[in-house]
Chain A
Amino acid sequence: MPFDPAMFDPSQIPLVEIVFWAMTVCTIGGALGVVTSRNLFHSALYLILSFFGVSGYYVLLNAGFLAVVQLFVYVGAIAVLVLFAIMFSRRMMAAGQSQANQQWWVAGPVVIVLFVMLLAVVGSISWPVTEAEPSGDVVNQLGLAFLGSYLIPFEVVGVLLSVALIGAIILAREKTAEE
């Protein structure tokens, strides 16, 4: 069929679907790469690809704040720390590491059970879809919720993270001579 520009309607391009499938390829492909790659550094890079795909979902779901925080926390902080740890602790270019270790026979059944459980949960939920417009300023509402009705959980999480931070510093501190 020849292309007829008069019949072409730009609004018919399924943009959301295209982006969704691109992000799905990123997320699942990245996740597969993490477990199949024989090089730990590559695994960490695939993990970043996967995180990136997830943040793309958030953008599609109109949750821009979550998307940016996903990139900020997971790519900017956690993934970089993971890479840092790998670079410090492994031989450079240590390729050909096995994907399994001696504990595979414990981990295998646990993973299968977890997978079945997740499948059951995903299958049993009737995913509610609302026709309502997404509310405008999510950031303001999030802020008001954090410092209003959810103030105490928010503060408790803050204290928890500070405790973890201080604990890590104390554990990692070099012992001085007089101690």
Chain B
Amino acid sequence: MQEIIDYIVSLNIPLIDEGVARFIMHLVLASIIAVVAPAMLIILTWLERKIIARIQDRIGPNRAGPFGLLQGFADMIKMFTKEDITPATADRIVYNIAPGLSVISAIMVFAVIPFAPGFVGADLNVALIYIVAIGGFGTLSILMGGWASNNKYALLGAFRVVAMLLTYEIPMVVALIIVTLAAGSMSMVDIIEAQSGMWYIVSLPVVFLIFFLSGIAETGRSPFDLIEAESELIAGFHTEYSGIKFGMFMIGEYVHMFALSFFCAVLFLGGWQIPFIDVAAIPGPFGPILGLISLIIKVFLVVFVLMWFRGTLPRFRIDHLLDFGWKFLVPLSLVLLIGVAVVVRLFAPGSSAGVPVEPGPLSALGTPGEVVALLVMNILVAAAAVALVSTAARRSRSKGLRAVASVEPVAASGK
């Protein structure tokens, strides 16, 4: 990015000094992100239909354009030209703000994502809290939409979604804290660089699972798509929305999902890194381009897994979902947090960015030792958690069986 700014300055255009050049550069990049992220809706919906169709042994969209590629455009045109209905008793202002807020909150998180070495909108040193804080506006938009529609189904849908979002925010934040601990920084760029030894999906697989599952719940996708439990809630909080405003909620959902894939790729899959190649050291424009391609491949890998989930898993029931969050993910993530803190402390010098820390007792083992120790700790915690859950399940099941067996057979009467 600095090279491009230097080039613009070297053109000696009047009024364009370095500050202005930097401003223009950021403006252009921000516009690209703000346009491309919602436009991804067209590609993502097409991809989703195709993948789910294949999973369900169908063909999927195949009429509009080659491979049905234009289906998304057709849907967009349909959505834009539909009548925009506002219920007579709706709270007009709040009702109209909500869809926009949903899109804004989904796009704003892209500001901190590093796309390639040197290409990041804002390398905040609080990037991880920032993404959770901005996610709060998404929750807000759902509440506003559900309330302002003045429809009981919409309100119930909003309640449900927000209960779910608040539940799954906790394991998600704890997973982010664990990543912070391991990387020694909350800046996304530092986290990517801390993964140059080993990606966190290898050293912290259980943390990745927790983050991924709670992330899916946060985006409200299958199997956590209670928002769209048609049989129970009609369409949830956006029951009353039609046309472009419904489209904006949909854009919000898909951009959110896309952002989640970016977070998984950046925080756990090494971001723009390629194994055995130091992308940042490649001179000229090829380094950033290679890095971007590597990141995009990882992102679409995660997107594919998300769609795979949607094609294969049935929907959670609301009480199961809250139980799973509160009784399984939250305790598991807290135990992992303690475990990672201990392991990272034992290996202190390999994992801290900028903070003066004296070496831990096991520091001689270096990064490979830390990776192995983290992995072993993760597996142990996961095994203990699964053992605990299965014991509890077996006990409650045998209790149920005893209850059934203890019922005295009623003697046949009437003879």
Chain A positions within 8 Å of B, measured between CB atoms, are 5-6, 8, 10-11, 39, 41-42, 45, 48, 64-65, 68-69, 71-72, 75-77, 79-80, 83-84, 87-88, 92-93, 137-140, 143-144
Contact = CB atoms under 8 A, between A and B. Distances in A.
A76 B19 contact: no
B137 interface: yes
Nearest to B140: A80
B281 interface: no
10 contacts: A8-B15, A64-B125, A65-B126, A69-B129, A72-B129, A76-B136, A76-B169, A77-B136, A80-B140, A93-B150
B59 to A, nearest CB: 43
A75 B147 contact: no
A7 to B, nearest CB: 10
A8 B20 CA distance: 13
A84 B15 contact: no
A8 B130 CA distance: 36
Contacts of B169: 76
Interface in B113-147: 124-126, 129-130, 132-137, 139-140, 143-144, 147
B140 A48 contact: yes
Which 7 A-B pairs give the minimum distances between C-beta atoms?
Answer: A76-B136, A71-B133, A72-B133, A68-B129, A68-B126, A68-B130, A65-B126
Contacts of B414: none
Nearest to A86: B147
Contacts of A137: 125, 354
Given A71-B136, A72-B129, A76-B133, 18 more contacts: A10-B20, A41-B91, A45-B144, A68-B130, A69-B129, A69-B133, A71-B133, A72-B133, A75-B133, A80-B140, A83-B140, A84-B159, A87-B143, A87-B159, A138-B125, A139-B125, A139-B186, A144-B355
A137 B144 CA distance: 37
A44 B18 CA distance: 43
B15 A79 contact: no
Contacts of B152: 92
Contacts of A39: 91
Nearest to A77: B136
A5 B15 contact: yes
Given A45-B94, A68-B129, A75 B15 contact: no
Contacts of B283: none
A18 B1 CA distance: 27
Given A72-B133, A84-B162, A93 B91 contact: yes
Given A11-B19, A92-B147, A80 B162 contact: yes
Instruction: Please classify how large the interface on chain B is, using the bins under 10, 10 to 19, 20 to 34, 35 or more.
Output: 35 or more
Contacts of A92: 147, 150, 152, 155
A37 to B, nearest CB: 11
B188 to A, nearest CB: 13
B14 interface: yes
B113 to A, nearest CB: 16
A75 B141 CA distance: 12
Contacts of B139: 76, 80
Nearest to B130: A68
B15 A10 contact: yes
Given A5-B15, A6-B14, A87 B147 contact: yes
Contacts of A87: 143, 147, 155, 158-159
B166 interface: yes
Contact of B132 (A11, A65, A76, A143): A76
B17 interface: yes
A65 B186 CA distance: 11
A79 to B, nearest CB: 7
B355 A140 contact: yes
A80 B133 CA distance: 12
A8 B129 CA distance: 39
B167 to A, nearest CB: 13
B2 interface: no
Interface string B335-356: 0000000000000000000110
Contacts of A93: 89, 91, 150
Nearest to B146: A87
Contacts of A80: 136, 139-140, 143, 162, 166
Contacts of B136: 71-72, 75-77, 80
Contacts of B155: 87, 92
Contacts of B186: 139
A72 B135 CA distance: 9
A84 B17 CA distance: 49
Contacts of A8: 15
A166 to B, nearest CB: 14
Contacts of B133: 68-69, 71-72, 75-76
A133 B134 CA distance: 28
Contacts of B150: 92-93
Interface in B88-130: 89, 91, 94, 124-126, 129-130
